[in-house]
Amino acid sequence: MQPAANEPPAEAAPWQVEVGAFKLADIGIAYADAGSLVPFIASLGSLGLDWAATAEVGAGEPKVTVHGIKLAIHDIKIAETGPQAAPDPLFTLGHFQLDNAEVDLAQRSVKLPSWLIEKGLVQVAVDAQGGLNWQHLAKPEQPGQPAAAAPTATPTQDAPPQAPWRLELGAFKLAELGIRYADGSHKRPFAASIGGIGMDLAATAEVGAGAPKAQVQGLNLALKDIRLNDGGKTPPLGWDSLEVGGGRLDLEKHDVGIDKIALKGGGVQIRRGADGGIDLAELFAPKTGTKATAPPPAAKGKSAAPQQPWHIALKSFALQGFRLAYNDASFAPALAYDADSIDVNLNNIS
């Protein structure tokens, strides 16, 4: 029996696709680039990936869900090579892992129940001319090569608004990540370092439709061995540890809340020379001949729309066992003051 002449054709049923279990195990990857400003190599010691998926395609908008995603990467390294290479890698990471993640294209959602990053080191250095070491990984500019033209927008009919992408991060954990920073572009070169960073948090976010929305809950941050060093025997500034507990943030409401901040140990050395100069201030004073420039002037025209003010509330702040040493050579004889242990406690700051 044939359909009537005016009867629309029946819609074809969508194709159903199921991938029960995909597994990739113990894959090593190494990438070498000799065309950058300084040659470098990037490597993954071991990569493993597991996932399953379902999909409907061929009728209307495709529906794809990838679930049970487990990604584990070990021994990540980025290091310069060749005669101009830095002696230490720019970046190392012992372990990166996602567990039971899910991506749903139809629902525009990403769920990350568990995300772990641990045992790494980031090296950042600025040379005497103000150049950043990570810029060495870029390709050199070719003389006379025209800049790529910006894409032109194609006029289209008004499309229906799309739902935002939703991100759920159940538990993020960062552990044992160190940072080293060296700066030779100032009046006096200095180095700063954090021996270890640990962080835990959970978060939700909506992006891609209107102003982004994000909420962070259960933020706990721990930093240890925080040091600022100018090459002397004793670091002029440092703390043994910094702890932040019970942090939360609401981007839409412009609200930040923290249960506690605690700075423990460490100290500061302030030295004033005979000419009145203070050594800590000289560490951050720029020297001539670097790439550092003054901030651009404010743009003229209409003033920006007023922004909702941020509300910040801190339940408790503690500074414990902080040492202060002050030496002033602008007097004759020189003055010296020392405080072996400074404790400060503040509550309900907003």
What length does the chain have? 350
Ranges 29-43, 141-155, 244-258, 317-331: which has the least confidence: 141-155
Task: In whole angstroms, give the CA distance from residue 109 to residue 107.
Answer: 5
Task: In whole angstroms, give the CA distance from residue 165 to residue 213.
Answer: 10
Look at residue 292 and tell me whether its pLDDT is greater than 60: no
Within a 13 Å sphere around the CA of 189, how many CA atoms are in the beta-carbon half? 12
| H or E element in which residue 248 lies | strand 237-250
Name, in order, each residue with C-beta under 8 angstroms of 258's C-beta and a sequence gap of 6 or more: 219, 244, 245, 246, 247, 248, 312, 313, 314, 315
User: What's the mean per-residue pLDDT of the chain?
Assistant: 88
Q: Which stretches of 195-337 are DSSP H helices?
A: 279-283
CA distances from 69 to 63, 101, 111, 139 (A): 17, 5, 10, 34
Say if CB 153 and CB 164 are below 8 A apart.
no
Q: Is 23 helix (H, G, I), strand (E, B) or coil?
A: strand
pLDDT given for residue 157 in this prediction = 58
pLDDT given for residue 343 in this prediction = 96
Biggest CA pair distance of the chain = 113
Between residues 302 and 268, which one has the greater pLDDT?
268
Say if CB 332 and CB 275 are below 8 A apart.
no
Residue 330 is given by DSSP the state T
Nearest to 310 by CA among 257, 246, 232, 234: 257
Nearest to 193 by CA among 202, 180, 206, 183: 180
Exposed/middle/buried for residue 25 (C-beta within 10 Å: 0-12, 13-18, 19+): exposed
What mean pLDDT comes out for the span 151-174? 79
pLDDT tens digits, one per residue of 49-102: 999 999 998 878 889 999 999 999 999 999 999 888 888 999 999 999 999 999
The per-residue DSSP string of 61-106 comes to: S-EEEEEEEEEEEEEEEEEE-STT--SS-SEEEEEEEEEEEEEETT
Task: In whole angstroms, give the CA distance from residue 279 to residue 326.
Answer: 11
pLDDT tens digits, one per residue of 112-122: 999 999 999 99
Task: In whole angstroms, give the CA distance from residue 290 to residue 129.
Answer: 4
- Give 330's pLDDT tier (boundaries 50, 70, 90): confident
Query: Residue 227, by phi and psi: left (phi above 0), alpha (psi -120 to 50) or beta?
Result: beta
pLDDT given for residue 188 in this prediction = 84
Nearest to 136 by CA among 86, 75, 191: 86
Question: What percent of the chain clears pLDDT 70, i.e. is strictly above it?
Answer: 86
Look at residue 329 and tell me whether its pLDDT is greater than 80: yes
pLDDT given for residue 308 in this prediction = 86
